[in-house]
A and B are shown apart, each in its own frame.
Chain A
Amino acid sequence: MSYLLRRIGFYAFTAWAAITINFFLPRAIPGDPVQSLIARAQGQLSTDAIQSLYILFGLDDEQSLVSQYFEYWGQLLSGDLGLSFTFFPSPVSDVIADSLPWTLALVGFTTVISFLLGTALGVVAGWWRGTWADLLMPVTTFLSSIPYFWLGLIAITLFADQGGAFPSSGGYDPGVVPGWDLDFIGSAIHHSLLPAITILITSMSGWVLSMRNMMLTVAAEDYITVAHAKGLSQRRVMVSYAARNALLPNVSAFALSLGLIVGGTLLVEIVFSYPGIGFQLFSAVGAKDYPLIQGIFLIITLSVLVANLVADLVYLLLDPRTRKEG
């Protein structure tokens, strides 16, 4: 238990550091967001308006940095991430809440599927080394070396352009009203199929390769020979002895990849103009929408931290050696 508490303490500290950096970063960038807003308004803002904008963005010169910092924390804890420029005056938290589900559904789902499929294939490929299963290796090595955005472009050209079977952009048909009904869900799935398959093909190979390598390492362990000598069935030795041990590093890699779901597949969302958080970040950078960038960074950082914590917990569950005696 003390191990767990120490880990949680460590993550709390990291989260604090990340949030603090997130506070200072925009203040360190030359030119502040208000200046760029003024530039956009082309001098049509009065001094009063400018001053209230500064206060609105928490950049009030009359306030000390320390009190700004505490105010920032206060807003953060009440879920207030400021107002977005591009979607002015809607708050950043609303913009993120709109786009986050798209990314979670598309990338989250494909990450899980790709991990499960890839790991299973890796187990088989590692166990039956030296047989036809070796044919899998050149294929996966080739696939894992393809950049997924490039594969996405190819997929759009082949299947989406000029009356192809799949849409090339967006998250759902423009004519459909978002809601929990069949029309909308069907349309969303239809739109996500192509990007999902693209991610799946390129990311699965990594799991296959790493799982196969771990299987080969574990297969040389003494306890595998013991398991064979005990006359256990092939399946039991493969699953309960070899794969069970080979899985450990893959599981922690998987938990880390869960953290990258939120920000990791930016390019796929750009290629498919998918209304997820990566696409949002891309447009926010283009529009110099500092509050939105800041907010998305914060979400990405926190999700990576949470994923790390999950990785620790899962490891604790799977590997008895990490459990400390009470």
Chain B
Amino acid sequence: MSGEPVLDIRGLSVDYGLGDAAVHAVRDVSLTLHRGEVLGLAGESGSGKSTLAYGMLRLLPPPGVVRSGQVFYHPGDDEPVELMSLSAKRLRRFRWAEVAIVFQGAMNSLNPVHTVATQLTDVIAAHEPRTTPAARRARAVELLTLVGINADRLGSFPHQLSGGMRQRVMIAMALALEPRVVVMDEPTTALDVVMQRQILAKLVELRERIGFSVLFITHDLSLLVEFSDRIAIMYGGRIVEDAPAGQLYRDSLHPYSDGLLHSFPALRGPRRELTGIPGSPPDLRAMPSGCAFHPRCPKAFDPCAERTPTLLAPDGREDQNRTVACWLHTADRAMT
């Protein structure tokens, strides 16, 4: 599934606050989302997953600031667009039409005082002002049908819908302008397991039918193993491992990925021991020196506390299309 890139993040750093008091929430992250791919982004709370997603779309509320880095969007036939340098007007036109987001917390993503119809059509009106109200409404009906909601729900207000329905409305809304990329920020966290399944199955089906790329952000690695093509693991604001989902599940290299994978039971396959990860996530205001994970790492050795490992192809597996930031696997080149 490694087609050409559609979204290319290069060296993105995001701070909260300015100057010396700033907290570095995302540190020098590079990540590529390919055409038609589901890229999973996993990590503990506070690892910077959501900040990365909002940062790359310039949606961070103050005091969040993108300190450095570039984000290239490849529209396919046209020249790539760099999002950080886009003017306010062009950015507004770019948003939702090219990259749409399904937000964390379905409950609060819909405006409580407007009907579903209003919220589905206003985005179409903003981007395609020449459509008639009737056409927009027809499109809204179509979108709701797509996610399995009856058209008579158009006149409903958000509080009249169940949590699962609201999230499906949000997915329908995300697809309104047929974007190439859909960012899903913990889209199913607030829902029960059955509803999670339904929504994700719907999503997989829609992606096959429409063909958009997905950046799927969650703390639930078990979901990603099942639904994504690639998985990137974040820790302390950095990507520590980036690998195809199957490889990561069977043969994770970074001790942190390994810890995450041993934090949930597998339903099929051989029994594994559940271990979890000792300690707690790092304090972003006082990050450990070197590799941020070393105080909790069972395999930490000499260089870990002193120098930060870079994200590189692991030793002896250069052909496997994966990278890891760990001294255990990249010692030879990174040390020199």
Q: Is B159 an interface residue (CB 8 A)?
A: yes
A218 to chain B, nearest CB (A): 10
- B111-A245 in contact (CB<8A): yes
Q: Which of A203-227 contact B (CB under 8 A)?
A: 219-223, 225-227
- B113-A318 in contact (CB<8A): yes
- A229-B108 in contact (CB<8A): no
Q: Is B59 an interface residue (CB 8 A)?
A: yes
- A325-B96 in contact (CB<8A): no
- B126-A230 in contact (CB<8A): yes
Contact with B along A235-256 (1 / 0, CB 8 A): 0100011001100100000000
- B126-A236 in contact (CB<8A): yes
Residues on B with C-beta less than 8 A from A286 are none
- B59-A223 in contact (CB<8A): no
For chain A, the count of residues having a C-beta within 8 Å of the partner chain is: 26
Contact with B along A114-142 (1 / 0, CB 8 A): 00000000000000001000000000000
Contact with A along B114-152 (1 / 0, CB 8 A): 110000001100110000000000000000000000000
- B62-A220 in contact (CB<8A): no
Contact with A along B86-104 (1 / 0, CB 8 A): 0000011111110011011
Residue of A227, A319, A320 ringed by the most chain B CB atoms within 10 A: A320
Q: A230-B123, A231-B94, A231-B96 known; A222 and B105 CB under 8 Å?
A: yes
Residues on B with C-beta less than 8 A from A228 are 59, 95
A230 to chain B, nearest CB (A): 4
- B111-A321 in contact (CB<8A): no
Q: A222-B108, A320-B112 known; A130 and B62 CB under 8 Å?
A: yes
B12 to chain A, nearest CB (A): 18
Nearest residue (CB) in A for B95 is A231
Residues on B with C-beta less than 8 A from A318 are 113
Residues on A with C-beta less than 8 A from B127 are 231
Q: Is B279 an interface residue (CB 8 A)?
A: no
A305 to chain B, nearest CB (A): 27
Q: Is A162 an interface residue (CB 8 A)?
A: no
- A233-B126 in contact (CB<8A): yes
Tell me the bound Cα distance from A228 to B105 in angstroms. Answer: 16
B44 to chain A, nearest CB (A): 22
- B93-A231 in contact (CB<8A): yes
Tell me the bound Cα distance from A240 to B122 in angstroms. Answer: 10
A86 to chain B, nearest CB (A): 51
Q: Is B45 an interface residue (CB 8 A)?
A: no
- A321-B123 in contact (CB<8A): no
Residues on B with C-beta less than 8 A from A233 are 92, 126
Q: Is B249 an interface residue (CB 8 A)?
A: no
- B126-A229 in contact (CB<8A): no
Tell me the bound Cα distance from A260 to B289 in angstroms. Answer: 64
Q: A222-B105, A318-B113, A321-B112 known; A231 and B126 CB under 8 Å?
A: yes
- A244-B113 in contact (CB<8A): yes
A326 to chain B, nearest CB (A): 12
| B residues adjacent to A (C-beta < 8 A) | 54, 57, 59, 61-62, 91-97, 100-101, 103-105, 108-115, 122-123, 126-127, 157, 159-160, 170, 173
Closest 8 CB pairs of A and B: A231-B95, A222-B108, A320-B157, A230-B123, A223-B111, A231-B92, A231-B96, A230-B96
Q: List 15 A-B contacts (CB under 8 A).
A: A219-B61, A222-B103, A226-B110, A226-B111, A227-B111, A228-B95, A230-B96, A231-B96, A233-B92, A236-B122, A245-B113, A318-B113, A320-B112, A320-B115, A321-B159
